[in-house]
């Protein structure tokens, strides 16, 4: 699954923080981009890196998984919104 693109969920590993995002690139590639942002201390490039740097959490404990494997398309925006709302327990409104 790490070679697939789509909607992913990254979890901090040291707290309950989660990041829901979409990418047309593979989870493996996007995860590496987050790691680079953390390593180079460029949090503007990654919300996950920003979280780990600002809280002094260990990036090595961050885990990720694909929630919806799909190629880059308009469907990704809707799926990302649904997963983000579910992650923060907000009611879905349409």
CATH number of the domain bearing residue 48:
3.40.1440.10
Q: 36-86, pLDDT tens digit by residue?
A: 999 999 988 899 999 999 999 999 999 988 898 887 777 777 888 888 888
Q: 11-37, pLDDT tens digit by residue?
A: 999 999 999 988 888 888 988 999 999
Q: Is residue 83 part of a domain?
A: yes
pLDDT of residue 92: 47
pTM of the model: 0.75
Average pLDDT over residues 87-91: 68
Q: How many residues are recorded in the chain?
A: 94
pLDDT of residue 23: 87
Q: Is residue 94 part of a domain?
A: no
Give how far the C-alpha of residue 29 lies from the chain's centroid of Cα atoms, to the nearest Å: 12
- Count of domains forming the chain: 1
Domain that holds residue 38: 6-87
Measured CA angle at 71 (ends 33, 93), to 5 deg? 95
């Amino acid at each position: 699954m790490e070679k697939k693109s789509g909607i992913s969920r990254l979890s901090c590993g040291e707290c309950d923080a989660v990041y829901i995002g979409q990418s047309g690139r593979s989870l493996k590639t996007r995860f590496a981009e987050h790691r680079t942002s953390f390593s180079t201390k460029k949090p503007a490039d990654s919300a996950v890196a920003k979280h780990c740097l600002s809280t002094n959490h260990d990036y090595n404990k961050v885990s990720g998984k694909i929630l919806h494997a799909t190629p880059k398309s308009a469907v990704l925006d809707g799926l990302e919104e649904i997963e983000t709302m579910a992650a923060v327990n907000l009611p879905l409104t349409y």
